[in-house]
Amino acid sequence: MAAVRVEAVLAAAEEQEAEKRRSITVEKELELEYDLGNLLAVDRNPPPAAALRGAGPRREALLRALARDNTQLLVSRLWELPAERAGGAGGPLVAQLPQPAFRLPREKPPPKPRPPTRWEQFARLKGIRRKKKTSLVWDEQAKEWRRRWGYRRAGGDPSRAWLAEVPAGADPEEDQFARLRREKRERVARNELNRLRNLARAHRAGSAVPAAPLHPTGHQDRDELRRVARVARVSTASLGRFQPRLPKEPAEPPSRSGGKKRRFEPLLGNLAAERSRQLELLRDMGSKKPVLDITRAVNKQLRQEEAEAAAANKGKKQSKRGKRGRRQQRPGRSGKKSGG
Amino acid sequence: SIYCYRKPKTKRAKRFLEKREPKLNENTKNAMLIKGGNANLTVTEVLKDIYAVKKPFAVLYKRKNITRPFEDQTSLEFFSKKSDCSLFLFGSHNKKRPNNLIIGRMFDYHVLDMIELGVEKFVSLKEIKNSKCPEGTKPMLIFAGDVFDVNEEYRRLKSLLIDFFRGPTVPNIRLAGLEYVLHFTAVDGKIYMRSYKVLLKKSGCKIPRIELEEMGPSLDLVMRRTHLASDDLYKLSMKQPKGLKPKKKKNISHDAFGTTYGRIHMQKQDLSKLQTRKVKGLKKRPAEKSAEDGGATPKKSKSA
């Protein structure tokens, strides 16, 4: 009797457990996709279209049931995240969210690192580093710590300076106060000019906009891009002679000198080559045979003309043209043997 | 740009400009809610309710602005630049397009995507009389319906809605504070947006049982026109700078099963001099030891 009762009790307890678990489990055909960083859940199951077509409270109830199921799943996932009590033992339970997974477009383009200013380049070259300066300086006259610059600075108020020494070798009639004021104005103007120049340089470097036909479209192949890059280089006032190359661009091959006639050899270079060239020239000048082989030139010309004619008459009465073409080709062929 | 030629003269101006400049980790997107030339009561109420949901990351323009976003986007872009808002919701009404809402977002102060939605039914916050959740609660977003993945326009709409209602990105969240959920169902060419207040009930185990109570604005929307960004502009806007990628820890690798493997680099060891645990059975007996020494110290034999 006791055994049966114990079994009954255990069965009842298990039934209760299952009941509890059932209250939070949700059956879905397709699993939801979760992005816990954004508190987002996506349900791919097609909703019951027919049921939702009818208007009114039934639709609302259906939507609400669907929402409840989906929210239950999402909250279960969120509750499974590693959580801790913030602010000691009695604080609220706080879960750590992962990074948001759903990719969204940015608000603004990512910041471009600005190119270094002229001073920064110089400092990097020389290895000059910033010296950390104290914000307060001891003023001997006022016997207290004063700012380095600004309101009540250490050197005394420059506008109330009542003495300006005439430096050695300067004109005694000159107004020193006016000179100091003028020099300050010039310094400020020069600083502003340099700042604007640095800005302009950065702006120019950041937005090098090529002309419309030279825009990279993403559908160009390598050769076309190389050609376009070459055109762009040469489109400067000095025809690209002083254009710096890109970091990984190979050096310009020497054929850039532009063909046979504009190739200038260095003056003191290959002595043997120069000697052989001059001797060859003399030999050609002295020989009786003409340099130009007339027969060969004529044959070449004829062949070229035939090729052009063939390309022009493509598709028109091929059979007839074939016979004629063959007849025409014969003198050319024999000419080839006689040449050289 | 021309604006950076002038240096800010006060610290406040400098902070203002720094807040607006492009950054690695961006600010939470602000939304501007604009009334069109002829906005009726429904549309005005919708804008006010959405403003209540999106506070403090929204600005509501109360005056009517006579513009047509689909024809001319310059005034929208001007507003966006002035108020530093990259999301907008423009409400208007006319006979051809009644109760019209144009939801959109900007990239670099130029219009990226714009989708026109028609409001067929609207139940506002005021009409449902119950307690609301506090302002600025981060909502949970749920999208139901396979249309949201199949159709390109619906996909962009989903991305837009997430962007709009997402709120600030936080590393931690108080589990008891998950009070607000926005549920979007796409069925039959309509999109049903419902907002519920979440009640967490005891369930016997650790995870609470959810009960929902209808709360906030509920909209029945139908998609009208769209103006989606071209593919390359969209790709450009999605580009994340390299600094945001999480730094890879060296010598740690993960398995498909979730096991973490670590790699330790050791110098070359002399295995004969390795110190192992002392096992008594392997201890060298005195006889063996003397054999090793080569009989240098012979054991003194006991005289019988």
Q: What is the pLDDT of residues A12-61, one digit of tens each?
A: 888 887 776 777 788 888 888 999 999 999 999 888 887 777 777 888 88
* Structural contact between residues B239 and A110, judged by C-beta atoms closer than 8 angstroms: yes
Q: What is the pLDDT of residue A239?
A: 82
Q: Is residue B177 part of a domain?
A: yes
The predicted pLDDT at position B72 comes to 85
Q: What is the mean pLDDT of residues B147-153?
A: 91
- When pLDDT is averaged across residues B60-65 and rounded to a whole number, the result is 89
**Identity of the residue in A95, A99, A105 whose CB atom sits nearest the CB atom of B237:** A105
Query: Would you call A63 and B163 a contact, using CB atoms and an 8 Å cutoff?
Result: no
> Which residue did the predictor score with more confidence, A320 or B21?
B21
Q: Rounded to the nearest 5°, which phi and psi values hold at A214?
A: -95, 10
pLDDT at A35: 92
DSSP-derived letter for residue A167 is P
Q: How far is B282 from chain A (nearest CA, A)?
A: 49
Domain, as residue range, for B31? 27-235
Contacts of A17 in chain B (CB under 8 A): 204
Nearest to B207 among A24, A64, A67 (CB): A24
Top residue of A104, A107, A197 to mutate, by most chain B CBs within 10 Å, is A107
Say if the Cβ atoms of B162 and A102 lie within 8 Å: yes
- Write the ipTM: 0.79
CATH number, position B128: 3.40.50.10480
Phi, psi of B33 (to 5 degrees): -110, 115
Considering only residues A153 and A2, tell me which one the structure prediction assigns the higher pLDDT. A153
pLDDT at B60 over 90: yes
**Picking from A123-127, A187-191, B181-185, B213-217, which range would have the lowest pLDDT averaged per residue?**
B213-217
Q: Assess whether pLDDT exceeds 90 at residue A82.
A: no
Task: Tell me the nearest-neighbour CA distance from A312 into chain B, angstroms.
Answer: 43
pLDDT tops 90 at residue B89: yes
Tens-digit pLDDT profile for residues A216-228 = 555 566 777 787 7
Question: What is the nearest CA distance from A335 to chain B, expressed in angstroms?
Answer: 60
CA A167 to chain centre: 55
For residue B269, tell me if it sits in a domain.
no
What average pLDDT does the structure give for chain A?
81
What distances in angstroms separate CA B165 from CA A312, B103, B138, B140, one per listed residue?
67, 12, 8, 9
Neighbouring C-beta atoms of residue A146, cutoff 10 Å = 18
pLDDT, mean of residues A253-258: 59
pLDDT surpasses 80 at A209: no
Q: Tell me how far apart the alpha carbons of residues A317 and A324 are, in angstroms, rounded to a whole number.
A: 11
Residue in chain B nearest A96 by alpha carbon: B172
- Rounded to whole angstroms, the Cα distance separating B166 from A102 reads 11
Q: Does residue B35 fall inside a structural domain?
A: yes
Check B26 against A106: CB less than 8 A apart.
yes
CA distance B95 to chain A (A): 24
In chain B, what residues touch A94 (CB-CB under 8 Å)? 172-175
Higher pLDDT, B173 or A157: B173
Over residues A297-315, the pLDDT tens digits come to 999 999 999 998 888 887 5
Helix (H, G, I), strand (E, B) or coil at A57: helix
For residue A339, pLDDT beyond 50: no
Classify residue B282: in a domain, yes or no. no
- Looking at residues A66-88, what average pLDDT do you find? 88
Q: How many domains does chain B have?
A: 1
Q: Is A88 left (phi over 0), alpha (psi -120 to 50) or beta?
A: left
In this complex, the residue of A63, A97, A109 whose CB is nearest that of residue B108 is: A109
DSSP string, chain B: -GGGGSPPSSHHHHHHHHHHS--SSPPPPPEEEEE-TT--HHHHHHHHHHHHHHTTSEEEEEEE----TTT--HHHHHHHHHHT--EEEEEE--SSS-SEEEEEEEETTEEEEEEEEEEEEEE-TTTS-SPPPPTTPPPEEEEE-THHHHSHHHHHHHHHHHHHH-----SEEEGGG--EEEEEEEETTEEEEEEEEEEEE--SSSSPEEEEEE-S-EEEEEEEEEEPPPHHHHHHHHPPPGGGSPPPPTTEEE-TTS-EEE--------GGG------GGGPPPHHHHHHHHTSSSPPPPPP-
- Report how far residue A60's alpha carbon sits from residue A154's, in angstroms, rounded to the nearest whole number: 75
State the nearest Cα–Cα gap between B22 and chain A, in angstroms. 5
Q: Which residues of A touch B17 (CB under 8 A)?
A: none
Task: Tell me the pLDDT tens digit for each residue of B197-241.
Answer: 998 888 878 888 889 999 889 999 999 999 998 888 899 999 888
Inside any domain, residue B139: yes
> Do A72 and B203 form a contact (C-beta atoms < 8 A)?
no
Share of chain B above pLDDT 90, in %: 46
**What's the one-letter identity of residue B217?**
P
Yes or no, beta carbons of A110 and B24 under 8 Å apart: yes
Nearest by CB to residue B149, choosing from A19, A44, A196, is A44
Please report whether residue B14 resides in a domain.
Answer: no
The pLDDT assigned to B289 comes to 67
Of A67, A76, A94, which has the smallest distance from its Cβ to B212's Cβ?
A67
Closest CA to A27 of A60, A63, A72: A72
Query: Is the pLDDT confidence value at A253 over 70?
Result: no
Res. A212: pLDDT tops 50: no
Residue contact A64–B194, C-beta within 8 A: yes
| Preferred mutation among B23, B160, B185, B247 to probe A, highest tally of A CBs within 10 A | B185
Tokens of B218: 């509920």
Decide if pLDDT at B139 tops 50.
yes
User: Within a domain: residue B92?
Assistant: yes
Strand partners, B212: B198
- Alpha-carbon span A57 to A40, nearest angstrom: 27
Whole-number Cα distances in Å, B108 to A86, A105, B14, B33: 38, 11, 20, 19
Cβ atoms of residues B85 and B79 within 8 Å: yes
- B304 falls in which pLDDT band (50, 70, 90)? very low
| Nearest alpha-carbon partner for B198 in B184, B190, B188, B208 | B208
* Position B19 in a domain: no
**Mean per-residue pLDDT, B48-60:** 92
B187, B208, B214 member nearest A47 (Cβ): B187
Contact list in A for residue B109 (CB cut-off 8 A) is 108
Rounded Cα gap, residues B111 and B115, in angstroms: 11
The pLDDT assigned to A316 comes to: 67
State how far residue B195 is from chain A, nearest Cα, in angstroms.
9
